[in-house]
Structure 1
Amino acid sequence: MIMWPDRKRFAVTLSFDLDAETAWDSSSLDGRRLTLLSMGAYGRRVAVPRILELLARHDIRAQFYIPARVAEIDPNVVRGIADAGHGIGCHGYFHERTDEQTPQQNLQILKDSKAVLERTIGREVHHYRAPVWEITPDVIDGLVDLGFHSDSSLMGDDRPYLVGGAPGQLLELPVSWALDDWEQFAYSAEPAVGGVIENPDKVFDLWRSEVDGMRAYGGHFTLTMHPQLIGRPARLLMLERLIEYIKGFDDAWWCTPDDVHAQWRNGALDLPLHPY
């Protein structure tokens, strides 16, 4: 079992994938499918301000993973997130699947998306999450070569571990389909996405149970959310209930990828090495 800082029992990270318009197939961005585009735009226009207000009220720092194209569409929303003290991470350029690119294309996407985000917020970006959590070995190598601190795409543990390079140069912050709002709330008729839009109460019960499990086993509760989904009114109220539930435990370590990486680099976290 990992010894978390200050003898905390488990770790908690709230993360948001701000895909906005890039959540949908590029064919929808020809300017004609306005309804589809507006679903993504809702995330950056309406949901992000609500999410930032919620996080500020509860004094929580979160992590936002953002495709570079979103920073080009709306640089102010990305700057606003960074200025509020939250972490910014790369999430592709146009939310491309890495397994559909060549290694050369993946490396260029990494370089370009990192440069766009850094130019937008005026500071370095060291964290990454692969679009749709599809990451390839060449991308892990590219992350190491470009000096990234962490990835958050794999599912090989429920606690942080090490991957990549001459071994263990990259911190992996694992994720889970059970802790993703896309599987619960995403819906589109065409392209066909989702099937049933879940009741927020059902999702609250699922995530609360996962909190209890992570606490029992000393894990890292990493919640992945998309502003266009979780930012809808009833769902955001549910998220606040979950935050209040977690804050009822005095042994939760609220952290960002920067926090975990810092603890690992200073030797406070002894992490296992896995190939993937």
Structure 2
Amino acid sequence: MTLNCALTFDFDAMSVWLGSYKSRNPSMISRGEFGAIAVPRILSLLKKHRIKATFCIPGHTALAYPDIVKKIDAEGHEIAHHGWVHENPADFDEAGERFNIEKGLECLKKAAGVTPKGYRSPSWDFSDRTIKILLDYGFVYDSSLMGADFTPYYARIDDGFDSVSPYRFGPNVDLVELPVTWLLDDFPHFEFVDKDTYGLSASSKVEEIWTDEFTYARKNVKGGLFSLTMHPQVIGRGHRLMMLERLINKFKRARDVKFTTMLAYAQGWRKANPLDKWKASGAPQAQSACGRDRL
């Protein structure tokens, strides 16, 4: 079986500094502007290698750079929802969280005429309502959780947890989870934010880590998904783009590897693994009520 490889780019632009970091410092916010410089470089690289990628875009970015978002769509790449202004969903009540989802959808529709079927939460943060809200808005997949590495699973709702009781698993629902990890994200490796993130690693270090993770997945998780999370304002620096192209060439040399968008993979996996059949398969993330009762 083939290992699927997804290159994903979180085009945050200024929103990450305004939303996640809550900065009002013009210098820090200007760091996001480099994303608009980097996206054309990334699109050129993808076109050269005939690869379709997934771009996760906040609504705020879509309004700031509609022409770039249109170009991403016009070149055949998937656009996924990435919040309104890179906010933490847990910072809002239900009405506020729904507003942010709707605002993001509205802005992406306005900028490029697209209605995303995939979601990635800003900074991979969730509230206890997020999955239910995604179902209400018809999303096919989420890519924010970390319950696996290269194997998708169906997300759950209504898990119960505290510091004194056994963990209580809720029911799986029809939302494909394409798991992520900070290990395969460029931001902690490369970015520098005082009192927060001290990256600035050599690209050779990151190339070694990502290559070995890819090799492990290829040898041990056939049919799985190896996905990289990258940010144009981070990966778009010259020496890092050179690293990315070296990785692409390595991945392409493996004949049992196929590049894919997140949506295409999620749709194929969902079709091959209907929810009821998957729950009966005994996957670690499928926790039946009767199984919990036996504990």
TM-score normalised by L of structure 1: 0.89
Superposition deviation, residue 89 in structure 1: 0.8
Q: Secondary structure at the match of 2:179?
A: coil
Greater displacement, 107-116 / 63-72: 107-116
CA deviation profile, 1:124-147 (whole Å, cap 9, x unmatched):
211100111012231110100110
Q: Secondary structure at the match of 2:254?
A: coil
The answer to whether the aligner puts 1:180 opposite 2:185 as a matched pair is: yes
Residues 273 and 264 (structure 1), Cα distance of their counterparts in 2 relative to 1, 3 Å cut: farther
CA deviation profile, 1:183-236 (whole Å, cap 9, x unmatched):
1111134xx332241001111001001101111221421100010000000000
Q: Secondary structure at the match of 1:11?
A: strand
1:98 corresponds to which residue?
89
Residues 26-37 of structure 1 mapped to structure 2, 5 A cutoff:
27-29=22-24, 33-37=25-29
CA distance in 2, matches of 1:126, 1:173: 13
Give the percent of matched residue pairs that are identical in Structure 1 and Structure 2: 36
> Of the two, which has the highest radius of gyration?
2
2:160 corresponds to which residue?
none
Unaligned runs of 5+ in 2: 158-170, 288-295
The answer to whether the aligner puts 1:139 opposite 2:150 as a matched pair is: no
How many residues were matched structurally?
A: 263
CA deviation profile, 1:9-66 (whole Å, cap 9, x unmatched):
x22111011111111145534xxx332222110012x100000000010111110111
The answer to whether the aligner puts 1:195 opposite 2:198 as a matched pair is: yes
Greater displacement, 197-206 / 264-273: 264-273
Superposition deviation, residue 237 in structure 1: 0.3
Unaligned runs of 5+ in 1: 1-6
CA distance in 2, matches of 1:48, 1:243: 17
Kept in 1: contact 2:188–2:198 (CA 8 A): no
Root mean square deviation of aligned Cα: 2.0
- Match for 1:211 among 214, 226, 229? 214
- Match for 1:162 among 154, 170, 173? 154
CA distance in 2, matches of 1:134, 1:66: 15
Structure 1 residue ranges (4+ consecutive) displaced by more than 6 angstroms after TM superposition:
none
Superposition deviation, residue 275 in structure 1: 6.6
Q: Secondary structure at the match of 1:168?
A: strand
CA distance in 1, matches of 2:189, 2:208: 12
Q: Secondary structure at the match of 1:222?
A: strand
CA deviation profile, 1:167-192 (whole Å, cap 9, x unmatched):
43101110011100011111134xx3
Kept in 2: contact 1:17–1:224 (CA 8 A): yes
2:67 corresponds to which residue?
76
| Alignment-mate amino acid for residue 232 of structure 2 | P
Residues 145 and 259 (structure 1), Cα distance of their counterparts in 2 relative to 1, 3 Å cut: same
| Alignment-mate amino acid for residue 57 of structure 1 | K
Q: Secondary structure at the match of 1:40?
A: helix
